[in-house]
Amino acid sequence: MIDQVSPRQLAAWGQHHQQQGRLLVLDVREPAELQIAGVRPDGFDLLTIPMHDVPQRMNELDPDRPIACLCHHGGRSQQVAHFLAQRGFTCLANVAGGIDAWSSELDQTVPRY
């Protein structure tokens, strides 16, 4: 099952799963989107892999580590989370509302687009 967590809930979700490792936020947006807005790692690790590159770069991901997928509004990240779950990843979340919600809920310095 893919947990749906808001940006505000992300830290608590990571704490809840800390026995499985340090939280990784997997940002699956495209490079042009990353230039517009990004998150600063605070209490988590950050890895950026565009959605369509995830299958070729899965070796960079630990299937037992807590991973929260992030995109613009939450659609692509949900697809990536499902893709990973089908391949044996056990601790997954989707950041509901994506970076847009991150900006409005958590860090207003993150530009909205």
The reply to whether 43 falls in a domain is yes
In this predicted structure, what is the pLDDT of residue 61? Answer: 98
Any idea which residue has 């960079």 for tokens? 60
Any idea which residue has 């949900």 for tokens? 78
Q: Which domain, by its residues, includes 34?
A: 3-106
The reply to whether 113 falls in a domain is no
DSSP string, 10-73: HHHHHHHTGGG-S-EEEE---HHHHHH--PPPSSSEEEE--GGGTGGGGGGS-TTS-EEEE-SS
pTM assigned to the model: 0.97
Residues 6+ apart with CB under 8 A from 83: 54, 55
* pLDDT tens by residue, 59-96: 999 999 999 999 999 999 999 999 999 999 999 999 99
The reply to whether 112 falls in a domain is no
Residue 105 predicted with pLDDT over 90: yes
* pLDDT tens by residue, 5-46: 999 999 999 999 999 999 999 999 999 999 999 999 999 999
Considering 51, 69, 71, 101, which one is annotated as catalytic?
Answer: 71
In this predicted structure, what is the pLDDT of residue 4? Answer: 98
CATH number of the CATH domain containing 18: 3.40.250.10
The reply to whether 111 falls in a domain is no
In this predicted structure, what is the pLDDT of residue 72? Answer: 98
Average pLDDT over residues 44-58: 98
The reply to whether 87 falls in a domain is yes
The reply to whether 46 falls in a domain is yes
58 HSE (CA, 13 A, CB side): 14
How many structural domains comprise the chain?
1
What would the two tokens of residue 109 be?
């310095």
The reply to whether 100 falls in a domain is yes
Q: What integer best gives the mean pLDDT of the chain? A: 97
In this predicted structure, what is the pLDDT of residue 1? Answer: 81
36 phi, psi to nearest 5 deg: -80, -45
Q: Determine whether 91 is an active site residue.
A: no
Provide the CA 77 distance to its chain's centre, in angstroms: 7
